[in-house]
Amino acid sequence: MNVRKNKLVSLAALGLTAGLTLAACGGSSDNGSGDGAGSDNGGAAAAGGYAELTGNLAGSGASSTQNAQTAWTETFMGLVGAEGGDLTVTYDPTGSGTGREQFLNGEVKFAGSDAALGEEELEASTEVCNGEQAVDLPLYISPIAVVFNIEGVDSLNLTPEVIGGIFAGDITNWNDPAIAESNPDAELPDLDIVPVHRSDDSGTTENFTEYLSETAPDAWTHGPIETWPIPGGQSGDGTSGLISTVEGGNGTIGYADASQAGNLGVAAIQVGEEFVEYSADAAAKAVDVSPRAEGRAENDIVFELDRTTTEEGVYPIVLVSYLVVCGSYSDAAEGEAVKSYASYITSQEGQQLSAEMAGSAPLTQELSDEVQGVIEGISVG
């Protein structure tokens, strides 16, 4: 099974990295013959130092990063295989809470989580992390778009108060003066508003309602929540379910990963005095302008997302998913594997891959460099 998989991965790598064709051939023949992988691959080791990586690396956590993790693990294993290493990386999308739990139990060596580790979790992490604390690293920035489906309306400007009022059920018709005020040019029909929410528990809902509760606390009084607090109303299971519900009605409005908005209208959100449409740059900027969470170690990079920012060109409705790794690994092989993988997925290359495959907004160069610095500092052995 393992050997067969390796061959497949090596084959994929053949196509991926034309420059390493020779090394890839060497790698696959090595794997076919047994355990001697990497012994005679000096030529390839210079490319990424992956030749020595062997064994299994298991991670679990947030389902929001599932698509990106699938792309990362496959491509990374391809790169390792191409250099003669033999490493299997898996990511089980068990949910953020379970992922953190399994990481603290030592069941998995890294975790993905929509929320950073809490204080108690950080203290508990010293037991599985060779005496040092675990670190949170921003990994995945996903912009959340406010999508709508109104016949004859293509663009819409919405203030946080209006969005909050709509989803709280206080603004019920598209011709409401509060909406018309910010859309002087649009012809808004006399049509019931049908707000659509996620029926499953989701980090998207949590980040969206956190945005509403901070920017429009009077209109949205339910606070940041994971499970929709208002009974009744339209909903959909998962991002795709929500999108198809919005598509299926007229006068519907919902919130979803921007990459999945498809043909639906996407509202521009009021930030400061202007209305900002979603873009990858604007979303990445939202993280850049946010202050770091206080009282954390220097290498524990956690942001206190500033939803109320008035900075120009910033799109504040974003979801940030963190990578949780140990500050120190006692097992050298394990540590090197985690470091290589973490370093790959937070690099510009890895971030571009997830932007293509999962529609995330890549980390900015500065943030990516800072994260890479922390990963370099993880002690091993």
Partner 1 sequence: MSTTDVAPDAPPSAPDPWQNSRRRFGDSLFSYLSIGSGLLIFVTLAAVAIFLTSESMPAILASQEFSGTADFSLVDTTLPLVFGTVLAAAIALIIAIPIAVGIALFISHFAPRRLAAGLGYMIDLLAAVPSVVYGLWGGIWLVPKLEPLYVFLNTYLGWIPFFGGDPTAPMRNLASASVVLAVMVLPIITAVSREVFLQTPRLQEEAALALGATRWETIRTVVLPFGRGGVVAASMLGLGRALGETMAVLMILAPGATFSLHILEVGRHQSIAANIASKQAEAAGVDMSLLIFTGLVLFVLTFIINAIARWIVARSGPKA
Q: Which residues of the shown chain bind partner 1 in the complex (CB under 8 A)?
A: 63, 93-98, 101, 192, 194, 196, 199-203, 226, 231-238, 241, 244-245, 248-250, 252
| Helix (H) or strand (E) run with residue 143 in it | strand 134-149
Separation CA 312–CA 281 (nearest Å): 12
Report the nearest approach of partner 1 to the CB of residue 197 (Å): 9
Report the nearest approach of partner 1 to the CB of residue 369 (Å): 32
Pick the closer one to partner 1 by CB: 84 or 165.
165
Cβ(54)–Cβ(83) below 8 Å: no
Pick the closer one to partner 1 by CB: 63 or 183.
63
Separation CA 47–CA 333 (nearest Å): 19
Cβ(159)–Cβ(271) below 8 Å: no
Report the nearest approach of partner 1 to the CB of residue 194 (Å): 5
Cβ(351)–Cβ(366) below 8 Å: no
Report the nearest approach of partner 1 to the CB of residue 101 (Å): 6
Report the nearest approach of partner 1 to the CB of residue 339 (Å): 27
Pick the closer one to partner 1 by CB: 49 or 97.
97
Pick the closer one to partner 1 by CB: 194 or 318.
194
Assigned token pair, 56: 């299994």
Residue 34: exposed, middle, or buried by beta-carbon count in 10 A (0-12, 13-18, 19+)?
exposed
Pick the closer one to partner 1 by CB: 55 or 241.
241
Residue 2: exposed, middle, or buried by beta-carbon count in 10 A (0-12, 13-18, 19+)?
exposed
Pick the closer one to partner 1 by CB: 203 or 327.
203
Report the nearest approach of partner 1 to the CB of residue 189 (Å): 14
SS3 of 179-223: HHHHCCCCCCCCCECEEEEECCCCHHHHHHHHHHHHHCCCCCCCC
Going by C-beta distance under 8 Å and a sequence separation of 6 or more, which residues neighbour residue 381?
329, 330, 331, 332, 335
Cβ(357)–Cβ(68) below 8 Å: yes
Pick the closer one to partner 1 by CB: 224 or 238.
238
Separation CA 335–CA 300 (nearest Å): 18
Which residue in the block uniquely carries the two structure tokens 């299997």?
88
Pick the closer one to partner 1 by CB: 96 or 270.
96
Query: What does the buried/exposed string (b/e) look like for 142-155 if buried means 16 or more CB atoms within 10 Å of the residue's CB?
Result: bbbbbbbbbeebee
Query: What does the buried/exposed string (b/e) look like for 255-279 if buried means 16 or more CB atoms within 10 Å of the residue's CB?
Result: bbbbbbbeebbbbbbbbeeebbebe
Report the nearest approach of partner 1 to the CB of residue 331 (Å): 26
Report the nearest approach of partner 1 to the CB of residue 206 (Å): 9
Report the nearest approach of partner 1 to the CB of residue 242 (Å): 10
Distances 169 to 173, 193, 199 between C-alpha atoms, Å? 10, 9, 17
Pick the closer one to partner 1 by CB: 177 or 232.
232
